[in-house]
Amino acid sequence: MSDDSITMAMTVAEIHNISKACLIVNGCDEANANAIATTVSMAERDGATSHGLFRIPGYVQSMRSGKVNGKANPKVHIITPAVIRVDGDGGYTPLALHKGIPLLAKAAKAIGIASMTIINTYHFAALWPETEAIADYDLAGLACTAYKPVVVPAGAKEALFGTNPLSFSWPRPGKTPMVYDMATAAKSLGDLYIAVRDGQTVPLGTGLDADGNPTTDPRKITDGGVILPFGGYKGSAICMMVELLSAGVVGENFSFEAAMTDNSDGGPARGGEFLIAISPELIAGAGWQTHSEKFFDRLTRIEGAYLPGQRRHMNRLSDAPRQVNAALVETIKELSQG
Amino acid sequence: MSDDSITMAMTVAEIHNISKACLIVNGCDEANANAIATTVSMAERDGATSHGLFRIPGYVQSMRSGKVNGKANPKVHIITPAVIRVDGDGGYTPLALHKGIPLLAKAAKAIGIASMTIINTYHFAALWPETEAIADYDLAGLACTAYKPVVVPAGAKEALFGTNPLSFSWPRPGKTPMVYDMATAAKSLGDLYIAVRDGQTVPLGTGLDADGNPTTDPRKITDGGVILPFGGYKGSAICMMVELLSAGVVGENFSFEAAMTDNSDGGPARGGEFLIAISPELIAGAGWQTHSEKFFDRLTRIEGAYLPGQRRHMNRLSDAPRQVNAALVETIKELSQG
């Protein structure tokens, strides 16, 4: 992890451009580089730096190791009027989402609820770009994906689950949608690495060391230890649901299978993603928006309560250049030399 | 709450019969009494006593108070090939589920994914009967419902959410399905009342007292205090998703609205339920079962890990009479005098 203390100013467009250029030099075609650079620059725009430029070296490494196809041509298949399947062609997820989500949204708007599965893909990004895209069609969205085993089932000391993020969005026409995106692990791997870098401890209940003992030292969790699910046995049940949806329903690798086939180049393994889009207009009927706004109004009036995703959306409003990690930009420039 | 220490033996059929008789005397018609008695006797069969005979006095009270229509005739509407809506006619949920789930399953098997919403209903039961019924059709099932505000959003001290249970099931043809059903509150109201009755403390993080301070005394939580969501801000996000699905998508009361319209007879308020059924056969394709069984095989080989719902399914295997609370049976007999 590089030193975050020295930053430099870049516009969102500049962030997009250096990302795209670096990806093309390292094996992406125009369409894939564009889709990934959009995802990366949106993350920096929103202040979600852990999914911004920070991910570019990982994308590059995964092409250089021969694992991921930077020129993948994802194919969208309409299986039924409610079921879309995208074959990612061994590439990154952003282009698969870019092609599939308009069809998922069309299906959900026509029939009320629809699912989209992505197979044969490598998911390096957050999940909120896709659930937010679904919400932009005035649909509720749900997305989840598995990872390699780093999280133990509640009560156990051996990892089986991935950090297994789950994202949910709710449309608020005329306003920014409510969107959250969370690891179903007590902490994501990224947050643990940041705690290691910054010499911080983590709360008990975050993970176990290599001997299966509770620890507050993040290094003991990342070096041979395991992460606990969030929220004890209930969070473990949610984490398991993510495995069953994003591998069992999708027909792709469970976390334990992903680990067996991966080349361990440091990036995510091949896997699947599961998405649902739901039309409140079609199911609840007219007036759904007024109704749900009453709920948000009530929530935001409660002292101490907050709507998930609002910080990202506030950050987004600024037209100013973003402060990005200068050392990271230097690394990306070096990687862009090929 | 009555004393659990004195029990008596009753067969599952006897439990069904006294439940049904009591419900009919107090205002249910044959169809509703049968559906509720089936739900209640299944709970006792599985050892899930908090949703068994224990609920009968609440059903009776809700008819005597004039809140719930014991002779409701739920109507099933097919909105689209993927969307089923059941109007519960102001009655209890079991008959609405009994009528709707075969059509939900038929839709999901035909088109891959389908939703069912129930409006104008009173949900006194657990959610696993319906998700297990979905799994019995070789479909994955999800169900959730809201309640009256007793749970605070993370960071706040004022209740907005219900205990908002979420249930998920996964089909295992030839075996008992994987089914879980959990409050998205740190503890359900039922568990808190049991802790009060038994003079036990609860862990910090379960709830706040009337002044908004953390407490380990369950009585301070149930008497004017509030319950916390499970798993901190992440559990709070799941709890909020349940509100948005089971009220926002359904077009029924949010928890805060349910409280405003309820007559406070002690039972659940009018609300909605949201269900999804998903076909792994249609989405993942052939081989889905072998694939997911590999996952369960891996999970159950891990020391300390367990499959949710297995205890209920083990209890079910016994043909012996069940031990039920003798004082409760006496109460039900008294209520059956009308």
Check residue A70 and give its pLDDT: 98
- Mutate which: A178, A184, A204, A244, vs B, most B CBs within 10 A: A244
Closest residue to A248, CB basis, from B83, B233, B291: B291
User: CA-CA distance, A168 to A131, in Å (whole number)?
Assistant: 6
Amino acid occupying residue A76:
V
The secondary structure element, H or E, covering residue A276 is: strand A271-278
Check residue A213 and give its pLDDT: 96
**Confidence band for B189, pLDDT divided at 50, 70 and 90:** confident
Check residue A233 and give its pLDDT: 96
> Which chain B residues are closer than 8 Å to A81 by Cβ?
81-82, 111
Q: Closest approach of chain A CAs to the CA of B14, in angstroms?
A: 34
- What CA–CA distances, in Å, run from B126 to A147, B40, B43, B114? 32, 10, 9, 21
* A280 CB-near residues (< 8 Å, 6+ apart): A138, A139, A140, A171, A288, A289, A292, B248, B249, B251
A75-99 residue pLDDT tens: 999 999 999 999 999 999 999 999 9
User: CA-CA distance, B198 to B178, in Å (whole number)?
Assistant: 31
pTM: 0.97
The secondary structure element, H or E, covering residue A301 is: helix A288-301
> Which chain B residues are closer than 8 Å to A153 by Cβ?
299, 302, 304-306
Report the residue count for chain A: 338
- Taking residues B202-209, report their average pLDDT: 96
HSE-up of residue A202 (Cα within 13 Å, Cβ side): 27
Specify the CATH class of A3-185+229-298+305-335 in words: alpha beta
A194-233 residue pLDDT tens: 899 899 999 999 999 999 999 999 999 999 999 999 999 9
Candidates A50, A65, A264, A318; catalytic one: A50
* B10 CB-near residues (< 8 Å, 6+ apart): B18, B44, B321, B322, B324, B329
- Taking residues A23-41, report their average pLDDT: 98
Phi first, then psi, for residue B137 (nearest 5°) are -90, 15
Check residue B5 and give its pLDDT: 80
Q: A152, B280: Cβ pair inside 8 Å?
A: no
Q: Closest approach of chain A CAs to the CA of B308, in angstroms?
A: 8
Whole-number average pLDDT of chain B = 96
Residues B178, B182, B184: CA angle, nearest 5 degrees: 140
- Taking residues B107-123, report their average pLDDT: 98
Burial class (CB in 10 A: 0-12, 13-18, 19+), A29: middle
Q: Closest approach of chain B CAs to the CA of A83, in angstroms?
A: 6
Residues A146, A152, A156: CA angle, nearest 5 degrees: 150
Q: Residue A135 in contact with residue A177, Cβ under 8 Å?
A: yes
List, by residue number, the catalytic residues of B.
50-51, 191
Q: Residue A81 in contact with residue A107, Cβ under 8 Å?
A: yes
* A257: nearest Cα among A245, A246, A270, A241: A270
- Mutate which: A158, A179, A241, vs B, most B CBs within 10 A: A241
Check residue A1 and give its pLDDT: 44
Q: Where in chain B is the domain with CATH 3.30.60.50?
A: 186-228
B161-184 residue pLDDT tens: 999 999 999 999 999 999 999 999
Region of residue A66 (left: phi > 0; alpha: psi -120 to 50; beta: else): left
Q: A302, B156: Cβ pair inside 8 Å?
A: yes
Q: Residue A173 in contact with residue A195, Cβ under 8 Å?
A: no
Largest CA distance in chain A: 56
HSE-up of residue B289 (Cα within 13 Å, Cβ side): 11
> Which chain B residues are closer than 8 Å to A156 by Cβ?
302-305
> Which chain B residues are closer than 8 Å to A134 by Cβ?
none
Check residue A4 and give its pLDDT: 66
Residue B4 has pLDDT above 80, yes or no: no
Residue A294 contacts B, CB cutoff 8 Å: yes
- What CA–CA distances, in Å, run from B191 to A10, A82, B86? 54, 40, 30
Predicted complex ipTM:
0.96
User: CA-CA distance, A329 to B22, in Å (whole number)?
Assistant: 73
Which A residues in the span 150-209 are in contact with B, Cβ-Cβ below 8 Å? 152-158, 160, 168, 170, 178, 180, 182, 184
What is the share, in percent, of chain A residues with pLDDT greater than 70? 99
Q: Residue A41 in contact with residue A317, Cβ under 8 Å?
A: no
A159-197 residue pLDDT tens: 999 999 999 999 999 999 999 999 999 999 888 988 998
B22-73 residue pLDDT tens: 999 999 999 999 999 999 999 999 999 889 999 999 999 999 999 999 999 9
Report the residue count for chain B: 338
Check residue B266 and give its pLDDT: 84
Which A residues in the span 228-267 are in contact with B, Cβ-Cβ below 8 Å? 230-235, 237-238, 240-241, 243-245, 247-251, 254, 256-257
Q: Closest approach of chain B CAs to the CA of A248, in angstroms?
A: 6
Closest residue to A291, CB basis, from B235, B248, B304: B248
* A279: nearest Cα among B117, B269, B38, B57: B117
Residue B254 has pLDDT above 50, yes or no: yes
Residue A132 has pLDDT above 80, yes or no: yes
Residue B2 has pLDDT above 90, yes or no: no
Residue A54 has pLDDT above 60, yes or no: yes
User: CA-CA distance, A40 to A55, in Å (whole number)?
Assistant: 8
Q: A299, B113: Cβ pair inside 8 Å?
A: no
Lookup result for tokens 């998911």: A123
Check residue A194 and give its pLDDT: 87
Residue A2 has pLDDT above 70, yes or no: no
Q: Distance between alpha carbon A184 and the CA centroid of its chain, in Å? A: 12
Beta-strand pair B140-145/B165-170? antiparallel
Residues B245, A282, A79: CA angle, nearest 5 degrees: 90
Q: A232, B231: Cβ pair inside 8 Å?
A: yes
What is the share, in percent, of chain A residues with pLDDT greater than 90? 93
Q: Residue A19 in contact with residue A332, Cβ under 8 Å?
A: yes
Candidates A46, A87, A138, A191; catalytic one: A191
Rg (CA), chain B: 20
User: CA-CA distance, B20 to B25, in Å (whole number)?
Assistant: 9
Domain B186-228 has CATH 3.30.60.50: yes
Q: A2 catalytic, yes or no? A: no
Q: Where in chain B is the domain with CATH 3.30.1370.60?
A: 3-185+229-298+305-335
Whole-number average pLDDT of chain A = 96
> Which has the minimum average pLDDT: A40-54, B2-16, B195-209, B317-331?
B2-16
- Mutate which: A160, A234, A256, vs B, most B CBs within 10 A: A234
Q: B237, A81: Cβ pair inside 8 Å?
A: no
- Taking residues B107-121, report their average pLDDT: 98
> Which chain A residues are closer than 8 Å to B82 by Cβ?
81-82, 111-114
Q: B83, A282: Cβ pair inside 8 Å?
A: yes
- Minimum Cα–Cα distance from A255: chain B residue: B295
